[in-house]
């Protein structure tokens, strides 16, 4: 019995340091976080040691050689090592997971929508080598499935970080190595460059990419900022357009318009160089060009060009080698344009007339005595292409002067119509000698827009009233002087 007790004491003496070592674990190296594979190897060694110690202590407990509390401490150490090992394993696996963007192709639908198809690939590699080198157990490896990425969320963002895709996000349930799924978005904002945001596992990855153009349609897509405009006669309407190339065979396109009256002159313009264009050519790496269409409206309306009547027309981008010719004197339907198989955009122009004042006056300078009045007339002519409404005539007078304007309002003045206005200005009772200016103002509205004519200034010179006695004295003096000169001359000749 004495030898048995001695043997157990020696056994416990050797078991205590091993248990203490198992509880403390192996030495922690701060570089394990940087070199995760080495950290996994260290965690695996610790796990194996802790597992062996737990199995040994469990065997001793079953034979009654160790207490339950000692077994519990060893088991806790084993469980901590197991969790640490599994965490290190997952950290290595997640670090090696990678999703690549294989393709991002932008296309245009017949209704003008822009769509993007994105092809993803699971590029995770090296997990089998990890399994072979570290001899990781099959159960844990198959449970984690390191070659499979689940719950991948994809979205498209602009430069400001806003989502510009519809749907806003697409979820890929399972992304396996060798299976490259393609997802499709509708663009809420038409861009050529966007950021693809990928959220999966413990990673969030953002890649800024340039969209490829779908060359299958073999045409130029035309996007206009303002497809419908109102422009007054005798002005120019400008349509700014962006032209995207969706072709791999053609790079030169002729620019034409259809269904626009011949009396409207048109030309295309490069907004940067201000050079006039008849065609556009896309060079390598350039898929988008900005072009302006300028439409010059005549000064007068006619049967083909009616005020407030919208004109719908087409802008066409025709491949140079297609041989298609457009006759502007013939009207084309939208179906006919679509059947041409070319890029086009439908625009709208609404001609607007606008009134224009012209003021005619025979005289704008008068001389009067203080007790006199000035009577004058002005002719108001509408030289515009639209009637003038609510024309008002007024005059700014010097202090205490009075005025009579007939008429002082005109309800409507049609184009080319003329109206005469009478003015009567009376000076103040105590007016002094001098020059006085009166400012005549004429205003109105045309197409709900306020208009003002250039003001006219009437100058009135008030002179002092001449004295009758003074004038008679001067005349007598002059006559007497003349008589004296004549008499003196006669006497001088007789000598």
pLDDT single digits (tens) 398-408: 999 999 999 99
pLDDT of residue 11: 34
Lowest mean pLDDT among 45-54, 317-326, 386-395, 427-436: 45-54
Q: Is the pLDDT of residue 123 over 90?
A: no
Judge contact between 246 and 272, C-beta under 8 A.
no
pLDDT of residue 460: 92
| Mean pLDDT across 331-359 | 88
| Mean pLDDT across 19-39 | 49
| CATH number 2.60.40.10 is the correct assignment for the domain at 357-462 | yes
pLDDT of residue 9: 40
Element at 18 (helix H, strand E): helix 2-24
Lowest mean pLDDT among 1-10, 58-67, 118-127, 135-144: 1-10
Residue 488: burial class (beta carbons within 10 Å; 0-12, 13-18, 19+): exposed
Q: Is the pLDDT of residue 33 over 60?
A: no
Which is it for strands 170-176 and 148-157: parallel, antiparallel or unpaired?
antiparallel
**Gap between the Cα atoms of 120 and 101, Å rounded:** 5
484 pLDDT tier (thresholds 50, 70, 90): confident
CATH class in words for 99-213: mainly beta
| Mean pLDDT across 128-148 | 57
| CATH number 2.60.40.1510 is the correct assignment for the domain at 217-352 | yes
Q: Which two tokens stand for residue 353?
A: 């007339």
- Domain ranges across the chain: 2-96, 99-213, 217-352, 357-462
Q: Is the pLDDT of residue 361 over 80?
A: yes
Are 99-213 and 357-462 in the same CATH fold? Answer: yes
Q: Cα separations (Å) of 431 from 110, 368, 426, 460, 466?
A: 79, 11, 10, 12, 16
pTM over 0.85: no
pLDDT of residue 6: 36
pLDDT of residue 384: 82
In tens, the pLDDT along 407-466 reads 999 999 988 899 999 999 999 988 888 999 999 999 999 878 898 989 999 999 998 776
Q: How far is CA 64 from the centre of its chain?
A: 81
Lowest mean pLDDT among 44-53, 79-88, 199-208: 79-88
| Mean pLDDT across 46-51 | 80
pLDDT of residue 29: 55
Q: Is the pLDDT of residue 18 over 50?
A: no
Q: Percent of the chain at pLDDT above 70?
A: 81
Q: If you average pLDDT over every residue of the chain, what do you get?
A: 81
| Mean pLDDT across 5-27 | 39
**Gap between the Cα atoms of 334 and 339, Å rounded:** 9
301 pLDDT tier (thresholds 50, 70, 90): confident
């Amino acid at each position: 019995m004495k030898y048995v007790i001695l043997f157990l004491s020696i056994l416990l003496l050797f078991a205590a340091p091993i248990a203490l070592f198992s509880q403390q674990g192996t030495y922690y190296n701060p570089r394990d976080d940087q070199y995760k594979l080495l950290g996994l190897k260290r965690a695996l060694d610790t796990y194996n040691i802790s597992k062996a110690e737990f199995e040994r202590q469990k065997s001793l407990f079953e034979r009654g050689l160790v207490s339950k509390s000692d077994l519990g401490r060893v088991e806790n150490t084993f469980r901590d090592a197991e969790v640490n090992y599994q965490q290190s394993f997952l950290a290595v696996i997640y670090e090696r997971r990678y999703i690549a963007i294989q393709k991002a192709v932008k296309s245009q639908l017949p209704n003008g929508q822009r769509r993007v198809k994105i092809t993803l690939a699971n590029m995770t590699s090296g997990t089998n080598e990890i399994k072979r080198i570290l001899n990781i157990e099959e159960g844990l490896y198959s449970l984690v499935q390191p070659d499979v990425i689940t719950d991948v969320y994809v979205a498209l963002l602009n430069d400001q970080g806003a989502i510009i895709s519809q749907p806003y996000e697409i979820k890929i349930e399972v992304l396996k190595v060798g299976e490259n799924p393609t997802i499709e978005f509708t663009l809420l904002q038409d861009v050529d460059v966007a950021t693809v945001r990928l959220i999966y596992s413990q990673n969030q990855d953002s890649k800024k990419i340039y969209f490829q153009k779908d060359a299958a349609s073999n045409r130029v897509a035309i996007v206009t900022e303002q497809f419908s405009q109102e422009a007054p006669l005798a002005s120019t309407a400008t349509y700014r357009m962006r032209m995207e190339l969706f072709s791999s065979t053609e790079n030169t396109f002729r620019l034409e318009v259809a269904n626009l009256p011949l009396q409207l002159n048109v030309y295309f313009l490069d907004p940067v160089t201000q050079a006039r264009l008849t065609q556009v050519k896309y060079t390598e790496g350039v898929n988008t060009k900005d072009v302006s269409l300028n439409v010059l409206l005549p000064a007068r309306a006619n049967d083909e060009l009616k005020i407030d009547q919208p004109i719908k027309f087409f802008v066409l981008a025709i491949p140079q080698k297609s041989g298609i010719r457009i006759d502007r004197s013939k009207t084309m339907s939208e179906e006919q344009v679509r059947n041409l198989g070319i890029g086009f955009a439908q625009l709208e122009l609404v001609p607007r007339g606008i009134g224009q004042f012209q003021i005619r006056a025979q005289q704008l300078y008068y001389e009067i005595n203080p007790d006199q009045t000035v009577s004058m007339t002005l002719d108001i002519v509408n030289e515009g292409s639209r009637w003038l409404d609510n024309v008002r005539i007024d005059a700014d007078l010097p202090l205490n002067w009075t005025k009579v304007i007939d008429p002082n309002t005109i309800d409507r003045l049609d184009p080319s119509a003329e109206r005469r206005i009478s003015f009567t200005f009376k000076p103040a009772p105590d007016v002094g000698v001098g020059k006085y200016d009166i400012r005549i103002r004429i205003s109105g509205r045309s197409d709900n827009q306020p208009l003002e004519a250039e003001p006219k200034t009437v100058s009135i010179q008030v002179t002092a009233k001449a004295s009758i006695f003074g004038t008679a004295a001067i005349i007598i003096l002059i006559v007497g002087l003349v008589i004296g000169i004549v008499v003196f001359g006669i006497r001088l000749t007789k000598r």
